[in-house]
Structure 1
Amino acid sequence: MEEYVVFLCSLALVLLLYGAARVSYSIWWKPKWLERQLKRQGIRGTPYRPLIGDMKEFVKLIKEAWSKPMSQTHQVTPRVDPFTLTNMQKYGKISMYWVGTTPRLIIMDTEMMKEILSNKQGHFNKPPLNPLILILTKGLASLEGEKWAKHRRIINPAFHLERLQEMVPVFAVSCGEMIEQWKRMVPLQGAWEMDIWPEIQKLSADVISRAAFGSTYEEGKRVFELQKELLVLTFEAMTTLYIPGFRFVPTKKNQRRKKLAKDITSMLRNIIQKKMNAIRAGESRVDDLLGMLLQSNNQTDFSETARNTRSNEMLTIEEVIEECKQFYLAGQETTSSWLTWTMIVLAMHPDWQEKARQEVLQVCGKKEPNFEALGHLKIVTMILNEVLRLYPPAIAQYQHAYKETKIGDIIAPAGVDITLPTLLIHHDPELWGADAGEFKPERFSAGVLKASKDQQAFFPFGWGPRTCIGQNFAMIEAKLALAMVLQHFSFELSPSYTHAPYTVTILQPQHGAQIMLHQL
């Protein structure tokens, strides 16, 4: 008996020492080893602080920046991303900081950026996702490897230009309803103050619902409301110290996040079921995104043959639900941010607003723009690209080195995260000239590739094989909506507008986007 007790005590001691060694390795030895590997190559940055990394400084700078508005200029980087800007200014365009126990490289070299995003060696993927992100969606943007490739192959046909051409009349219905609603509010003489941020969000949600899912905005309205609440709660949790397993503790906010995720999934499942029933009954088209996903999987055919032919090249209903979440989030949030900032910027620059209006009237008159007409709106396209440069919805892109990889003249050890700061690169005077902080759509008069000193300097939708699948969808929606607004209204900033761009998953106006609308 005595020997058995000694054995148990020895085993417990061994396990305790093993656990302590693993913890010590994770929170000290590995981070310090990675830090030495980077510093030997001349890469400077913040010193390692066990567990918390630079979270305290990051939150401090963000809170300070967001606590006050800025002047009405387009030099928004100090307010939107003060931590990355400060780090780059102090340590250089290739520098490092810490996200918990993981070193993260800031890379502002466009050739190195190209190497990373092209990922020819296959050593880069998205960083390990915070489990809180996965509560929002496990769709295309969060996938890797063959699973990502399979989803991309299935979804891609819905975004071919010929499909998008068919969607333009559907987009126009949503835009037309918004225009008519605004006309009922705006007097024929005088002006009407409106916060266009929620209005444009509603428009983008309606477009996604109609064009991608075949349902009206009203049917999906509750889904969007719940997703917005879930986004806020998720972002709030991500700006505090992440403690593994804490999300399972039944706090009030954790329980609310869990319930929101469950309700969103349930609502989308109902929409999908209705779509399947309507397709089977011949009451719904199958050329929208949801219809194509279901058709590709034979999910609308319940015959023995269909069941037997399902393979790894098909999505499950659960995967379809996650892709619906993805496109509700990405399609609605990105385009609404882009359009809102475009109207704010044109309110600041009435000369360009008038140039765009005259082009729209010359090409379309007062008629509803069609797909061909949108292709002739050169000034509108220049304006939209310049707004994307100054106010990109996603202010940075992130990668993770899963294997040791050579990038340019440096070696990125396995386990290092990488930040490609889109906003900083889009505002870099070395790439865009001394007037990089100014609104000058004429930069894009000869096209995107000739707008800057480097062809890779403009990448609002990403670059390489993982370029955003919905960029053409977003561009057509933005062109059509802006053209229709310009046909019917002029606008300037309201005296109550406060210029305060900030990021909650995407770049948005912190205190709204109040403008004064005039009917034409």
Structure 2
Amino acid sequence: MGNIYLFEIIVTCWVLLILYAFLRVVHVIWWRPNYWEKLLRRQGIRGTSYKLLRGDIVEIKASMMEAHSKPMSGLSHHITPRVFPFFHDLMQKYGKVCMTWIGTKPRLIIGEPEVIRSILGDKKNDFVKPPQNPLVDILQRGIATLDGDQWAKRRRQITPAFHFDKLKGMMPAFSTSCSEFINVWTKLATLEGSCEVDVAAEFQNITGDVIARTAFGSSFEEGKKIFELQKEQAILVIEAYYSLYIPGLRFVPTRKNSRRYKLDNEIKATIRDIIRKKEKEIENRSELRGTDFLGLLLDECKQQSDNCMTIEEVIEECKLFYFAGKDTTANLLTWTMVLLSMHLNWQEKAREEVLRICGKKSPDFESISHFKIVPMILNEVMRLYPPVCNLYRYSKRKTSIGGITIPAGIEILLVMLSLHHDPNYWGDDVEEFNPERFSEGVARSSKDNQNQIAFYPFGWGPRICLGQNFAMMEAKMALAMILQHFSFELSPSYTHAPRTVITLQPQYGAPIILHQL
């Protein structure tokens, strides 16, 4: 009897366990998505309907593939339909606040400036960084992925490395890297007075060299391995992002999973070796104060021994600095060269300013601070072609915003690119390249001068990008030195085809003809 009773208990437990698992699955894939959809639609939010398990992932991927299968016709700056075809069509059909589905979860697409400003500002604690697919998160786990007290602590630890006095100390590294590529381009152009270069590829190397010097005090050759590994890693991350993730999938030893983890281990090992060298360098020269990013971080660790970052945390911040610092500035400079090749009058205005302030001398911290036209041009380029085209947030708790009640667990897509191209805030000439918009600064650039959120290439609010001053200083110096030595125009082989691979890039490169001055 005892054995029969025990058997009945075991069977009952298994039945209950199976029933619980079944109900849990039904809840996740059917009841909860339908509840969310009804809740949002009752509040007037329109969009696509939930499709079991997959949502709109197939349609999003198909629209991207179709858009990227052919270049744009002409040289139009109306790029949103090509860069984000699915989301652009959705907003055109359903409005600036609408919904789509990523797997079993709704994603709110938001293009209303007031709502965006609130999400990034006073509601920042309600809307946090979304939980990542672990195969996406592997790219970097630095400050950009943290929230709450962890984020606040890390921000305090890293901020000193980006103070203006520290950036000023990095200017020689900027100048050295820029001088080297100017010399290379000059040699290419010497024989015939001109040459053609793919500036998209060139700027990846140039900003890579700058990052290597300013991050680790090393040459580009020492950091080149990291750049190449991160480039391959980014492609695998994009693929994982647009795929349905099943919990536990990261542990399956597929060929791509194995490659993802191998890349991550190689990147960490390379940075760890550089950290060891830097620590020995600091030990051997006790008077040394850090002038590069890694040195500054290790300095902070020595000064805050009871509250410092671990080596693994330093590695993650170096990975983020390497990836974000290289790609964003490289693409900003690439699109700047492309647009100044399209608009030669602004190229000449910028050159006149640089020669008037600097002559033929390499720009320094003081001269760069006197530029007016150059930053106007860079801001207008970032309006039309922002390096990062959108921001993601996640509702941590039930909250109300813009008259909408949003339950916990909803992903939010803030469409920076669409807002930058919205005629309601930039006028009927929104798709025209016009740096005059920024003649009175960023705060008074859009039609609604009180609505500064209409322009946010570096984010907004407390989480605004720490590296924005670094990126702008690097871009100003590189552009100024190019203008001092070359005039340039688009190559006949240039094909206009912007697309996103983490950052906004020209799909077929950016061949530019340089003419030596």
TM-score by length of 2: 0.96
Aligned match of 1:438: 432
Letter of the 1:174 counterpart: S
Question: 1:508 Cα deviation (Å)?
Answer: 0.4
Counterpart position of 2:221: 218
Q: Which amino acid aligns with 1:477?
A: E
- The aligned counterpart of 1:168 is 171
Shift of 1:188: 5.0
Matched residue SS, 1:518: strand
Question: 1:2 and 2:10 equivalent?
Answer: no
The one-letter amino acid of 1:514's match is P
Please identify, of 165-174 and 138-147, the stretch whose mean Cα deviation from structure 2 is larger: 165-174
Offset from partner CA, 1:169-209 (integer Å, 9 cap, x none): 22111000010011111135342111111110111111111
- Map Cα deviations across residues 451-492 of structure 1 (whole Å, 9 max, x no partner): 102321000000000000000000000000000000001111
The alignment status of 1:481 with 2:474, answered yes or no, reads no
Instruction: Calculate the TM-score normalised by the size of structure 1.
Output: 0.96
Aligned match for 2:257, one of 254, 257, 282: 254
Task: Tell me how far apart the structure 2 counterparts of residues 174 and 161 of structure 1 sit (CA, whole Å).
Answer: 20
- CA distance, structure 2, for counterparts of residue 66 and residue 458 of structure 1: 26
Within 5 Å, which residues of 2 pair with 1:2-41? 2-41=4-43
CA contact (8 A) 1:403 1:414 kept: yes
Q: Deviations over 1:185-239 (max 9, x none)?
A: 1135342111111110111111111112211111111111111111112212222
Contact 1:189–1:519 (Cα < 8 Å) also in 2: no
Q: Which amino acid aligns with 2:506?
A: P
Task: Look up the match of 1:150.
Answer: 153
Note if 1:385 corresponds to 2:387.
no
Residue in 2 that maps onto 1:263 = 266
Distance in structure 2 (CA, Å) of the matches to 1:63 and 1:120: 35
Contact persistence 1:188–1:518 (CA under 8 A): no
Look up the match of 2:317.
323
Letter in 2 for 1:236: E
Structure 2: stretches of 5+ with no match in the other structure: none
Show the counterpart of 1:334: 328
C-alpha offsets along residues 423-457 of structure 1, whole Å, 9 cap, x if unaligned? 00000001100111110011101110111023210
CA distance in 2, matches of 1:374, 1:219: 29
CA deviation after TM superposition for structure 1 residue 73, in Å: 1.1
Which of 63, 85, 90 pairs up with 1:82? 85
- The worse-fitting range, judged by mean Cα deviation, of 284-293 and 132-141 is 284-293
- Pick aligned residue for 1:310 from 284, 305, 311: 305
Matched, 1:195 2:198: yes
My pick for the range that moved more, 268-277 or 155-164, is: 155-164
Contact 2:136–2:240 under 8 Å retained in 1: no
Q: 2:399 pairs with 381, 392, 405, which one?
A: 405
Per-residue Cα deviation, 1:43-70 (whole angstroms, up to 9, x for no partner): 1010011211110110011001000000
Helix, strand or coil for the counterpart of 1:186?
Answer: helix
Q: CA deviation at 1:288?
A: 2.1
Distance 1:421 1:248 in 2: 33
Say which SS state the counterpart of residue 19 (structure 1) adopts.
helix
Q: CA RMSD, aligned part only?
A: 1.3
- Please list the CA deviations of residues 90-134 of structure 1 after superposition, one character each: whole Å capped at 9, or x if unmatched: 111111111111111111111111110014462110111111122
Matched residue pairs, number? 510
Q: Distance in 2 between matches of 1:496 and 1:287?
A: 42
User: Which residue type is aligned with residue 98 of structure 2?
Assistant: S
TM-superposed deviation, 1:6: 2.0
Moved more, 327-336 or 164-173: 164-173
Q: Residue 422 of structure 2: which of 407, 425, 428 is its match?
A: 428
Counterpart of 1:96 in 2: which secondary structure? strand
In the alignment, the residues of structure 1 paired with residue 279 and residue 263 of structure 2 have an alpha-carbon distance, to the nearest angstrom, of 24
Work out the CA distance in 2 between the residues paired with 1:286 and 1:107.
Answer: 42
Counterpart in the other structure of 2:76 = 73
Residue in structure 2 matching 1:501, options 494, 498, 501 = 498
Question: For residue 286 of structure 1, what is the aligned residue in structure 2?
Answer: 290
- The Cα shift of 1:84 comes to 1.1
Could you tell me which amino acid in structure 2 is paired with residue 510 of structure 1?
Answer: Q
Does 2:464 match 1:467? yes
Is the contact between residue 289 and residue 299 of structure 2 (CA under 8 Å) also seen in structure 1?
Answer: no
Is structure 2 residue 99 aligned with structure 1 residue 110? no
Contact 2:397 2:407 in 1 (8 A): yes
Output the CA distance in 1 between the equivalents of 2:255 and 2:102. 26
Q: Is the 8 A contact 1:136 1:230 kept in 2?
A: yes
Separation (CA, whole Å) in 2 of partners of 1:261 and 1:355: 45
- The alpha-carbon distance between structure 1 residues 162 and 84, as it changes in their structure 2 partners (threshold 3 A), is same
| Amino acid across the alignment from 2:32 | K
